[in-house]
């Protein structure tokens, strides 16, 4: 043992994390966390990221973990530092992202007695972590080394087991935090290390699979609805099953089933349901009958589209199957008649081997041809809507068009991160299905507008792939602090900033009809972001036309560092343009 009891224990913990494949640790500076910080800096094999604002740090870790699927470690000092992690921990819990949160603390005897910078950290994240543990205060007992290694392995195992999620380890350290020390070799040699973990997945037996395959084959008119989910490998087997069964797939943009590689058959994918289902008053009689499924199979989180949710609610006499790897009960509409609790990737990979190819399906044809008609009309409207506003002072760019343009200019394998509120709704309405593999990311666990910039930077940090974030001005403002990470680590993120000076989404909601109180919702702030973007070392470009957008996007994809392309739009006109486009598409249904 070394002179310092902390460091041996912490080093045992840190080296075990590294041996189990943890690659990244995000550290916020602080004194109480000194043993952790030093251990990661000196003895770990993880890449260290130093981040000053713990709220942004946690969202950065979330972005990194979401895009890699691997657990990312957070380290902070005691007190409100740990409290600042909560928003990202909540998001991680509901969107199933593995985080290992390490909070330094004062030892037990200094709690609840008025000690400075000491809060109730045990249980701080409540139900929002999958597991939490308070470590014993290192006191030199050798058994604590073995316990630390075991706990490190356990934290990785739990963060990664189904459903993935955050875990919290509270580390009490008694002073002195930093005497001279030397970690003894025995710490690294005399203990078992790199605990090997084989972790099974939830699966159905062969006989149940055969039963389900037969059952699916017997269904005439089936419909898949896939909400946000971040396993890119689900697209191929699920779409193959859909193709064999001739079931249309209503694919949320975050389902990873709109922009896929050449090998994946996209024929069954319906990407315009959000426009189609808006016209629910027309959804009766013949159209309704032709589109009505016998069975709905739902996967992923609740779909982004509100009208799709309303449509599913209306199907209350239809058999609805929810497929999920966990028993967290993803049935916000209470319409499920069957739950298949099993790993979806394995399920569809195995099912596709058991299913014959169905010849044709009138039901699928109805969905797909209507989708096709709406797409054509919508594309036309999007391209021409701005012409109605020519001659006015500003170049009135239509916000939704960002996504039809991005679909063209994004390079292969790019990552597209979309902010909550309007961007995620627009990507849903306007991003076309296409053969170009893209990874589509968003924070849809709790759907906050906080931490988006940092989350996108985290997604960007773990990869050499081009990463683009589309975000509104309120959400951008909320996480301006995250931009420091881009400056410090020269991260290559391109941000499309949709600036309409306020919470644009509220212009679409009934609150807009209450004139006297509407300022409490739309909240114009009058901020001009160029200077702050430049403070963080970014380059700022205003975009005035779509050809301008293409030129600047192409340049951004070539350049390095933080690039911000700002589109100025007008809230009220944006609502009007959306309504006109959706309304024009209604003609297709008449």
In the range 278-337, which residues lie near its own copies by CB under 8 A?
301-302, 328-332, 334
In the complex, least distance from residue 523 CB atom to its own copies, rounded to whole angstroms: 5
Query: What is the closest distance, in whole angstroms, from the C-beta atom of residue 439 to its own copies in the complex?
Result: 21
- Axis-axis angle for helices 401-409, 362-384 (nearest 10): 100
**Of 25, 70, 64, 71, the residue nearest 44 (C-alpha):** 25
Cβ closest to its own copies, residue 381 vs residue 426: 426
Give, as ranges, the residues between 447 and 466 that touch its own copies (CB under 8 A).
447-448, 450-451
85 within 8 A of 54, measured Cβ to Cβ: yes
Site string for its own copies, 54-73 (x = CB under 8 A): xx------------------
By CB under 8 A, residue 562 contacts its own copies: no
Question: Of 389 and 489, which CB lies nearer to its own copies in the complex structure?
Answer: 489
Among 108, 112, 337, 545, binds its own copies (CB under 8 A): 112
Give the binding range for its own copies (CB under 8 A) out of 51-59, 382-390, 393-401, 462-470.
51-59
Cβ proximity to its own copies, 81 vs 457, nearer residue = 81
Sheet holding 439-441, edge to edge: 439-441, 415-418, 467-472, 493-499, 563-568, 539-543
Per-residue burial over 84-97, b if 16 or more Cβ lie within 10 Å, else e, is bbbbbbbbbbbbbb
Q: Where in 388-417 is the site for its own copies (CB under 8 A)?
A: none
- End-to-end alpha-carbon separation of the chain, Å? 80
Tell which one of 190, 337, 523, 545 touches its own copies (CB under 8 A). 523
CA distances (Å), origin 544, targets 161, 411, 549: 47, 22, 7
Give the H/E segment covering residue 361.
none
HEC secondary structure over 439-500: EEECCCCCCCCCCHHHHHHHHHHCCCCCEEEEEEHHHHHHCHHHHHHHHHHCCCEEEEEEEC
Looking only at residues 210 through 239 of this chain, which bind its own copies when binding is defined by CB under 8 A?
none
437: Cα separation from own chain's centroid: 17
Nearest approach in angstroms of CB 89 to its own copies is 8
CB of 108 to its own copies, least distance (A): 13
Handedness of CA 322, 261, 418, 392 (dihedral sign): negative
Tell the smallest beta-carbon distance from residue 70 to its own copies (Å).
23
Rounded to whole angstroms, the Cα distance separating 578 from 382 reads 9
Strand order of the sheet with strand 72-76?
A: 47-50, 24-27, 72-76, 99-105, 166-172, 131-134
CA-CA distances (angstroms) from residue 575 to 284, 398, 570, 579, 584? 27, 9, 9, 6, 14
Enumerate residues 6+ apart whose C-beta is below 8 A from 267. 243, 368
C-alpha–C-alpha distance, residues 59 and 101, integer Å: 12
Does residue 110 touch its own copies according to CB under 8 A? yes
Q: Using the rule CB under 8 A, which residue among 232, 511, 539, 542 binds its own copies?
A: 511
Question: In the complex with its own copies, which residue's Cβ is closer, 58 or 266?
Answer: 58
| Residue 91 interacts with its own copies (CB under 8 A): yes or no | yes
Rule CB under 8 A: choose which of 211, 509, 544, 572 binds its own copies.
Answer: 509
The residue among 109 and 383 lying less far from its own copies, judged by its C-beta, is: 109
Site for its own copies in 8-27 (CB under 8 A): 27
Q: Is 178 in the site for its own copies (CB under 8 A)?
A: yes
Q: Indicate the residue among 230 and 398 with the shorter CB distance to its own copies.
A: 230
Subset of 361-390 contacting its own copies (CB under 8 A): none
Applying CB under 8 A, the span of 107-115, 214-222, 258-266, 362-370 interacting with its own copies comes to 107-115
**Is 154 or 487 the residue whose CB approaches its own copies more closely?**
487
Q: Per CB under 8 A, does 525 bind its own copies?
A: yes
Please identify, among the stretches 198-206, 348-356, 507-515, 571-579, the one whose residues bind its own copies according to the rule CB under 8 A: 507-515
Q: For its own copies, give the closer residue by CB, 180 or 285.
A: 180
DSSP code for 323: E
- Do the beta carbons of residue 416 and residue 439 sit within 8 Å? yes
Nearest-approach distance from CB 207 to its own copies, in angstroms: 29
With tokens 């289902």, the residue in question is 277
Instruction: Please list every residue from 334 through 363 that binds its own copies, using CB under 8 A.
Output: 334
Residues 115-154 that bind its own copies (CB under 8 A): 115-120, 123-124, 126-128
Residues 6+ apart with CB under 8 A from 179: 3, 4
**Among residues 21 and 332, whose Cβ is nearest to its own copies?**
332
Closest by Cα among 102, 116, 345 to 240: 345
Stretches 108-116, 347-355, 391-399, 559-567: which one binds its own copies (CB under 8 A)? 108-116
Residue 140 or 519 with smaller CB distance to its own copies: 519
Q: What are phi and psi of 320, to 5 degrees?
A: -120, 125
Name beta bridge partners: 319: 295
For its own copies, give the closer residue by CB, 202 or 290.
202
| DSSP character string of 108-169 | GGGSSS--TT----TTTTGGGSSEEEEPPPP-S-THHHHHHHHHHHHHHHHHHSSSP-EEEE
* Alpha carbon separation from 257 to 66, 348, 505 (Å, rounded): 17, 14, 26
Nearer to its own copies, 162 or 243 (CB): 162
What's the min distance (Å) between Cβ of 168 and its own copies? 13
* The binder of its own copies chosen from 86, 133, 379, 434 (CB under 8 A): 86
User: Per rule CB under 8 A, is residue 487 in the interface with its own copies?
Assistant: yes
Chain centroid offset of residue 268 CA: 25
Closer of 255 and 301 to its own copies (Cβ): 301
- DSSP code of residue 326: S
Binding residue count for its own copies, defined by CB under 8 A: 90
């Amino acid at each position: 043992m070394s002179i310092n009891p902390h460091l041996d224990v912490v080093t045992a913990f840190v080296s075990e994390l590294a041996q189990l494949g943890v690659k990244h640790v995000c550290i916020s500076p602080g004194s109480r966390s000194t043993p952790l910080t030093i251990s990661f800096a000196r003895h770990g094999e993880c890449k260290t990221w130093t981040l000053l604002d713990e709220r942004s740090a946690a969202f950065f870790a979330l972005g990194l973990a979401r895009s890699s699927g691997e657990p990312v470690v957070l380290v902070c000092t005691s007190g409100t530092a740990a409290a600042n992690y909560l928003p990202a921990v909540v998001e991680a819990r509901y969107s199933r992202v593995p985080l290992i949160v390490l909070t330094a603390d004062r030892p037990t005897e200094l709690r609840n007695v008025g000690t400075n910078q000491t809060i109730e950290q045990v249980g701080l994240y409540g139900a929002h972590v999958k597991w939490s543990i308070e470590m014993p205060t290192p006191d030199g007992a050798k058994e604590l080394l073995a316990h630390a290694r075991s706990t490190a392995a356990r934290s990785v195992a739990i963060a990664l087991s189904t459903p993935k999620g955050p875990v919290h380890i509270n580390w009490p350290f008694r002073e002195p935090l930093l005497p001279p020390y030397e970690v003894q070799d025995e710490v690294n040699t005399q203990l078992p290390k790199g605990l090997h973990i084989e972790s099974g997945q939830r699966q159905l037996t062969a006989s149940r699979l055969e039963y389900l395959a037969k059952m699916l084959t017997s269904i005439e008119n089936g419909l898949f609805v896939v909400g946000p989910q971040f396993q890119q490998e689900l697209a191929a087997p699920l779409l193959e099953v859909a193709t064999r069964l001739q079931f249309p797939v209503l694919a949320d943009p975050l389902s990873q089933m709109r922009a896929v590689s050449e090998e994946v058959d996209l024929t069954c994918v319906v990407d315009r349901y959000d426009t189609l289902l808006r016209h629910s008053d027309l959804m009766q009689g013949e159209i309704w009958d032709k589109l009505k499924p016998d069975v709905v199979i739902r996967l992923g989180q609740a779909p982004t589209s509100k009208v799709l949710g309303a449509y599913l609610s209306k199907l209350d006499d239809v058999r609805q199957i929810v497929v999920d790897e966990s028993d967290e009960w993803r049935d916000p509409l209470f319409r499920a008649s069957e739950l298949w609790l099993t790993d979806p990737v394995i399920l569809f990979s195995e099912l596709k081997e058991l299913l014959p190819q169905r010849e044709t399906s009138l039901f699928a044809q109805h969905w797909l041809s209507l989708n096709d008609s709406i797409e054509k009309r919508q594309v036309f409207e999007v391209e021409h809507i701005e012409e109605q506003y020519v001659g006015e002072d500003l170049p009135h760019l239509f916000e939704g068009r960002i996504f039809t343009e991005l679909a063209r200019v994004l390079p292969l394998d790019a990552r597209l991160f979309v902010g909550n509120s309007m961007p995620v709704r627009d990507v849903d309405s306007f991003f076309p299905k296409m053969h170009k593999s893209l990874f589509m990311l968003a924070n849809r666990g709790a759907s906050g507008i906080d931490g988006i910039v940092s989350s996108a930077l985290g997604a960007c940090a773990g990869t050499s792939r081009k990463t683009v974030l589309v975000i509104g001005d309120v959400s951008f403002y909320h996480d301006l602090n995250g931009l420091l990470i881009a400056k410090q680590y020269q991260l290559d993120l391109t941000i499309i900033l949709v600036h309409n000076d306020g919470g644009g989404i509220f212009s679409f909601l009934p609150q807009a009809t209450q004139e006297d109180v509407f300022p409490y919702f739309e909240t114009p702030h009058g901020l001009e972001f160029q200077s702050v973007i430049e403070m963080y070392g970014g380059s700022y470009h205003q975009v005035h036309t779509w050809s301008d957008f293409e030129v600047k996007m192409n340049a951004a994809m070539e350049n390095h560092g933080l690039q911000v392309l700002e589109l100025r739009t007008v809230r009220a006109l944006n609502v009007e343009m959306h309504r006109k486009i959706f309304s024009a598409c209604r003609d297709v249904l008449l």
